[in-house]
Structure 1
Amino acid sequence: MKNRKYLIIAVGIIAMLYNSGCQKQLDIKPNDSVESAIALKTSKDVEGVLIGAYTAAGLRGIYGGRFQSASDFLGDDGDFAYFGTFSDYTELNNKTITVNNSFVEGLWNAGYNTIGVCNTVLANLALVDPTKKAKVEGEAKFLRGMVYFDLARAFGKAWNDGSPTTNLAVPIILKPTTAISGIEMVKRNTVAEVYAQAISDLQFAENNLDIKSTYASSAAAAAVLARIYLTQEKYADAETEATKIISSGAYGLVEHFSDEFQVKEQATRVFNTSEDIFAIQISSQSGYNALNEVYASSAFAGREETYLNGQFFDMFEEGDDRINEVTDDSFTAKFNNAFANVVVIRLAEIYLIRAEARALKPSPNLSGAADDINVIRHRALLEDTEATTPGDLLAAVKYERRAELTFEGFRLFDLKRYKETTYSIDGDGNHVDPFEWNSPKLVFPIPKRERDANPLLTQNEGYQ
């Protein structure tokens, strides 16, 4: 059967969730369909499927680490060199992605798998306890909205590259497909349409969830909205969303930068820090942190294949404590716990979003932007920024984002927002071929297996 998983309910996940202790409530037969009238009968059933949505989102193909690492490998311009055996990473780092790249295909499948499970939850809200309905809907829409935004960024052109009203992104699917015979051949929606859908989902989540939670929260929804508005250059809106989070007092920076990346004497389950707004909860039972796999040394369960280059070390200002997040002068130490949570959103990013928005909005708040930058600099043991103009403040934000958020999945999308050039590199870390921010090679191809299954999915420029 052709690969059409992006349109099919994650039967395996639901079965796994209910296999221990819930078989009496849910009897899934080995068929190609799941009739919701049979499978879902109670509020508890639907809430269980919602847990399945978190499980789907936390798989390594997407927020378990590979979405972050794949986009960073594609955006990298020489901070690191990869000497591993995953040809998929080599393709990404060289900017020579093939249509069969398994990490790109994995992102597509994991993304639509998550969306499919969320759609199942949303289609069965009538079964949910009325006192829980808004929360369940909000959590499902948060996950769906965040995934749609990230799929649009990965598989579509950047918002500032041409016209988002005509550039194609990914298909919008809002209803569950419960049988193979019911699959529709869908077309790709535009970048603008996918962003609008993501915003709608996230706004509902923001208005119906608590400000803080181990799972989806109002703050997490506001954070992704802030990312979207910053991408769209709606700076006042981005500032508003970031301020909601900061002003809530529900989150606080940990005292030391290294405290955010919890490394124990041996790999073990950890809990969110005060800084974590949304994180994938990893344990030895649920899976592993894919960022540990690709970036950590073998001493910390990594594959020891991604080496830091001199360019990385030269980037840091003298005295910046964040440079200490390396070990043996070769590997980043951010992900030295194989079972640490994968942090998707943290407070430091929100301060930097607000700083950039304050500096660039039509009526800039330059002192406020500097204050936000200094919050991050002080934690890194640096003095106040000397920047006072919009241009200098933007340069200061760019530095802080690279020093603070490196290897966390931001580089590719930052260089597109800033219209910067990246490079492929040779084995010594030297720049080889330049790739402008709007190069077609910095957009993921639509996976071949998806196009084989659905010829209506047009391919991106530069790929066959």
Structure 2
Amino acid sequence: MKIHKYSVIALSTLVMLYSSGCQKQLDIKPVDQVEQNDAIKTSKDVQGVLIGAYTAATLRGLYGGRLQSTTDFLADDGDFSYFGTFNEYTELSDKAVTIVNQFVEGVWDTGYNTIGVCNNVLAHIDLVDEVNKKRVEGEARFLRGMVYFDLVKAFGRDWNDTNGSPTTNQGVPIVLTPTTTIAGIQKVSRNTVAEVYAQAIADLKVAEANLDVSNGVYATSGAASAVLARIYLQQKNYAEAETEASKVIASGRYSLIEHFADEFQYPGQATHVFNTAEDIFAVQISNQSGFNALNEVYAAVAYGGREETYVNDQHFARYESGDTRADMFFDDDGEFTTKFNNLFGNVVVIRFAEMYLIRAEARSQKASPDYAGAAADLNVVRKRAGISNIVPATSAAGWIDVVERERRVELPFEGFRLADLKRYKKSTNSVDGDGNVVDTFPWNSPKLIFPIPKRERDANPNLTQNEGYQ
């Protein structure tokens, strides 16, 4: 039997629809479509599909860890070295990614699978009872908007890239309706960076308006505001970034954990009850649903990891004396981060500390800078780390260096570096096993953009490839 692989953009919702009926009928007749009226008929059905969207986002190809690790590996300038057997990570670290890199393909596939399930929820939103309708729409819009933002950052040029403009540079395809038949597979083209950003913002604004401040482990209005703050910061729309970050900070819903180490799950800790007061949004992982891919790539063998990513002296030099964040490492004939020492630990996608860092950057860079406010925000984070208040910079350029340094010690290994170096217009390096620089890449190098996966372009000739890839 010949097995055909179809584009995940087209078939993601088919998977969800078929799965709902597979246990009810053993002898399923071959068909090329699913009757939606039979598959999803009630409010409860739609809410069940929404849970499927969270499950899709949790997979290790996306927010289960690979989105964060792949982008960090591509951006790394020698803070860590990879001595493992996954060629996908070696390619990323060397800035020599191929069009068949399976980890990059996994980000694309899992991202569009999540979007597809969200589209299915939104296509049936009128079936949801009035009590839950706004919440269900808000959660689906939150997931879809966040995924679109993360995909366009990885597969498209940065918003501020001067090789073209956001209105001309190619981003990723925008797909807003579910595909329900093989014949209806959508051979989509790529939308511009500006169009994808606009879609993400539109989705997240609906989510922000529809969701409550509290929603258990699911998306909240604060989570939507936090992603909007990220988007506006990447656009260098500092006024809006400050506004959105301030909404989260002023909500009173979140707070920094007293000790930095306690924000991260240690081995053996119960995972299903572990969301902290600092977690704005975390994907829930258990030994029933998979494992934390950040543990796999970063943790030592003693804590379930593969012990293949060694942290270098260059990274440790970034910490000030007395900084407790420098204690988050484990020595096993090499240094390994301990942030992800629980194999089944939840992956925190948005932490409250990031909101202070976003607001500090926005305040220091906006048209009428607020340096005192920026310093106050950074000092909240620094106080938790056990170090003294910063010496404030006296210029916008100086403040960029201050904020960047703080982000590199607060947020390492959490998936922020690629977007940061592009926003700060900093170069990065590939290094050899001894830490020697092999090559240098400017922030807008096409080598710092993921290729469109070969499988996707084979299935859909309308997808153009990024510069430098075949």
Could you state the TM-score of these two structures normalised by the residue count of structure 1? 0.96
1:317, 1:15 → 2: CA distance?
Answer: 54
> Shift of the alpha carbon at 1:101?
0.3
Task: Kindly indicate whether residue 251 of structure 2 is the aligned counterpart of residue 252 of structure 1.
Answer: no
Q: Is the 8 A contact 1:9 1:120 kept in 2?
A: no
2:39, 2:20 → 1: CA distance?
Answer: 13
Q: Partner of 2:339 in structure 1?
A: 334
Q: Is the 8 A contact 1:60 1:290 kept in 2?
A: yes
* 1:65-464 aligned within 5 A: 65-162=65-162, 163-213=165-215, 214-265=217-268, 269-328=272-331, 329-389=334-394, 390-464=396-470
Q: Is the 8 A contact 1:267 1:339 kept in 2?
A: no
1:320, 1:331 → 2: CA distance?
Answer: 17
Q: Partner of 2:40 in structure 1?
A: 40
Q: Identity across aligned pairs (percent)?
A: 64
Q: Is the 8 A contact 2:371 2:392 kept in 1?
A: no
1:366, 1:164 → 2: CA distance?
Answer: 30
Root-mean-square deviation (Å):
1.7
Q: How many residues align?
A: 460
> Shift of the alpha carbon at 1:29?
6.9
> Shift of the alpha carbon at 1:12?
4.0
Please tell me the residue identity of whatever aligns with 2:143: L
Question: Which moved further from structure 2: 102-111 or 31-40?
Answer: 31-40
> Shift of the alpha carbon at 1:429?
1.8
1:462, 1:188 → 2: CA distance?
Answer: 17
1:28, 1:107 → 2: CA distance?
Answer: 31
Gaps of 5+ in 1: none
Please tell me the residue identity of whatever aligns with 1:172: I
Deviations 1:122-172, CA, capped at 9 Å, x for gaps: 000111101211110010000000000011000000011020000001110
Q: Is the 8 A contact 2:228 2:241 kept in 1?
A: yes
1:96, 1:271 → 2: CA distance?
Answer: 38
Q: Is the 8 A contact 2:13 2:120 kept in 1?
A: no
SS in 1 for 2:130: coil
1:68, 1:415 → 2: CA distance?
Answer: 15
Cα distance, 1:270–1:82 mapped onto 2, change above 3 Å: farther
Q: Is the 8 A contact 2:13 2:179 kept in 1?
A: no
Q: Is the 8 A contact 2:267 2:343 kept in 1?
A: no
> Shift of the alpha carbon at 1:431?
1.6
Cα distance, 1:266–1:221 mapped onto 2, change above 3 Å: closer
> Shift of the alpha carbon at 1:5?
1.5
Question: Which moved further from structure 2: 178-187 or 247-256?
Answer: 178-187
Please tell me the residue identity of whatever aligns with 1:373: L
> Shift of the alpha carbon at 1:184?
2.4
Q: Is the 8 A contact 2:49 2:121 kept in 1?
A: yes
2:52, 2:452 → 1: CA distance?
Answer: 26
Q: Is the 8 A contact 1:15 1:28 kept in 2?
A: no
> Shift of the alpha carbon at 1:14?
5.4
Deviations 1:317-367, CA, capped at 9 Å, x for gaps: 121110100011510000000111100001000100000000001111111
1:18, 1:367 → 2: CA distance?
Answer: 59
Gaps of 5+ in 2: none
Question: Which moved further from structure 2: 153-162 or 31-40?
Answer: 31-40
SS in 2 for 1:131: helix
2:249, 2:409 → 1: CA distance?
Answer: 21
1:270, 1:305 → 2: CA distance?
Answer: 30
Q: Is the 8 A contact 2:53 2:117 kept in 1?
A: yes
